[in-house]
Chains A and B, each alone.
Chain A
């Protein structure tokens, strides 16, 4: 576990219940998503990377797109957000069914055959787990420089002729 993950766990541990831990921890997880996108996206100097990060409806989906969360982890993370939204709308609303589902997705994201688990699902543990594995991946990603794809080798002449021909055809 990285120092950042350990700090995250320590911070949410000070909170009194699952709901508070989830509500306080999710924004930190979302900031980690943004860090992961920054680390994973190729450094295209002509593109305003921060704009797409800021405008993404949910940076988790970009993290999933870059393959930094697997399908089960992504489902579990989505369900943690749902629990938080349900709790925010109605603190008395039932969420056990959502927690069960999130825990199942997390278990099977590790091992498809891990079907049974003796203990009750823990939303805070699920959150801390996701933070920890993602922070590990961010750490590994940060140590390398992502590269842009090689430019194609079509000549300036060929490109020019293509554009002129299309103009001739299309007006």
Chain B
């Protein structure tokens, strides 16, 4: 089963038809049908490693009130997968995992993409949190332990943005990137092509562009979770790319042989 990282962009992509969502839809349609999806979302960034265990995880509308009612009305009614939860807990042991039945569900980082990959919401979804207390290398190590799931028919996805700086977002830029954003995006593509995971994990050493592109780790860490499961014979293929408002990379990649 492939694994993929998605630059999810605005929550509005949940209900939008644009070249990004069309590319995600085409990618989902071409995927072998997974038995479940494990998601690392930028928007479940908390202290500790948690995992959703609800039989029907709630749709989390984790965005501000300026978004349209249509987005608040949206639901993604995928089931959870209790057996998969236990398998994940077993694989990451001895890392302590908190089973979360109530505080979280499927957030917009996940469903803005899942709504297009699997529009019928008929594939079970389990989210795993990003641990705010842990450095990037720990996220990479934890996700690497989940690599066997891919051979078990589980689609592993990360959802974030390789370049994500909301403070500098400028609507007048439309789909054009800032110079530094384009440089960092290109640098990451090169490192992905070279399979240089060590450099990608140590992104904070990649210079001033990295400080602008990844001001906080939350949107970048899901990329590390995905590449941690990369096999030696796999490439990182581009699903779709582009920029939003100058400082948001929409690059999405798929790992497959």
Do A and B come from the same complex? yes
B-binding residues in A (CB < 8 A): 82, 85-86, 94, 96-98, 100-101, 104-105, 108, 112-113, 115-116
Give the residues from 112 to 139 in chain B that come closer than 8 angstroms, CB to CB, to chain A. Answer: 132-133, 135-136
Stretch of B17-25, B50-58, B212-220 with 4 or more beta carbons under 8 angstroms from chain A = B212-220
Collect the chain A residues with CB atoms within 8 Å of residue B168's CB.
112-113, 115
Collect the chain A residues with CB atoms within 8 Å of residue B208's CB.
116
Among candidates B132, B135, B165, residue contacting A96 with C-beta atoms closer than 8 Å:
B135
Q: A112-B167, A115-B215, A116-B211 are in contact. Are A100 and B135 (CB under 8 A)?
A: no
Contact across chains for A101 and B217 when beta carbons are under 8 A apart: yes
Collect the chain A residues with CB atoms within 8 Å of residue B133's CB.
82, 85-86, 98
| Chain A interface main SS type | helix
Q: What is the minimal beta-carbon distance from B204 to any residue of chain A, in angstroms?
A: 7
Tell me the complex Cα distance, A115–B209, Å.
11
Contact across chains for A97 and B215 when beta carbons are under 8 A apart: no
Write the chain A residue with the least CB distance to B208.
A116
A-binding residues in B (CB < 8 A): 47, 132-133, 135-136, 165, 167-168, 204, 208, 211-212, 215-217
Collect the chain B residues with CB atoms within 8 Å of residue A108's CB.
167, 215
Tell me the complex Cα distance, A97–B165, Å.
17
Collect the chain A residues with CB atoms within 8 Å of residue B167's CB.
108, 112-113, 115
Contact across chains for B216 and A115 when beta carbons are under 8 A apart: no
Tell me the complex Cα distance, A100–B208, Å.
14
Q: A86-B133, A115-B168 are in contact. Are A100 and B212 (CB under 8 A)?
A: no
Among candidates A82, A100, A113, A116, residue contacting B132 with C-beta atoms closer than 8 Å:
A82
Tell me the complex Cα distance, A98–B134, Å.
8
A94, A97, A105 — which one has the most chain B CB atoms within 10 A of its CB? A97
